[in-house]
Amino acid sequence: MTEIEVRGLTKTFRVGEVEVHALRGVDLKIERGEFVAIVGPSGSGKSTLFNILGGLAPPSAGTVSINGQDLAKLNDAGRTELRKKAVGFIFQKYNLLPTLTARDNIEIARHIAGNSGTPWDAQYQELLKLLGIESRLDHKPRALSGGEQQRVAIARALVNHPSLLLADEPTGNLDTENSKAVLSIIKHLNKRLGQTILMITHDPEAAAFADRTVTMRDGRIL
């Protein structure tokens, strides 16, 4: 089954009189269960692609299907639904809410998707064990290390069982040791649980954890 199918994707930003061609015709196909890294220098269009795949921004032209659904054929409510349930996101800066505990940061993602009010199931308890954060759940983000915060962010991204995990520079703020730990977990999620993962990174060592690497340059896939 195909998880992501992108055809002829372009994105042009207008900055005053200037047009910035962030994506210049991207074709990409990712099957369910794949772990793919997208690499490329700064400014090559990686985050623009990420935002479009996640339904966070519209393309200028071209088509994107996620999980068999053409994003252009979804209305706002459909796209919101997709973002909440079919796709999990992690970012370089964790994006945890600072006033909430780790547990409530995770719980709020369930609430938004309409899944709250039930206990966390056994499968999810296993995931928390794998992430090594069960004993840290009652702490607020500032009491957690960067590596712990990113592991909470992974837990939050996966709490609604999305078929796709999108990661934009997930180790960009971490030291070598924490990077390796987070990448090992991501790899495990893919290999043991079959989680489809698309990870953007500029770090070749991070990309080496993926099964396939796609290189971007100047808005194109090489």
Point out which residues bind Mg ion (CB under 5 A): 46-47
> Which residues lie across from 35 on neighbouring strands?
197
| Burial profile 99-110: b = 16 or more Cβ within 10 angstroms, e = fewer | eebbbbbbbebb
Q: What is the 3-state secondary structure (H, E, C) of 148-197?
A: HHHHHHHHHHHCCCCCEEEEECCCCCCCHHHHHHHHHHHHHHHHHHCCEE
Judged by phi (left if over 0) then psi (alpha if -120 to 50, else beta), residue 118 lies in beta
45 binds ligand ADP (CB under 6 A): yes
Residue 43 interface partner, choices Mg ion, ligand ADP, none, CB cut-off 5-8 Å depending on type: ligand ADP
Q: How far is the CB of 165 from ligand ADP (least distance, A)?
A: 18
Part in contact with ligand ADP (CB under 6 A); list of ranges 14-22, 101-109, 114-122, 157-165? 14-22
Binder of ligand ADP out of 25, 43, 62, 146 (CB under 6 A): 43
Residue number with CB closer to ligand ADP (45 or 141): 45
Q: Is 46 in the site for ligand ADP (CB under 6 A)?
A: yes
61 in contact with ligand ADP (CB under 6 A): no
Residue 20 touching ligand ADP (CB under 6 A): yes
Residues that bind ligand ADP (CB under 6 A): 13, 15, 20, 22, 40, 42-48
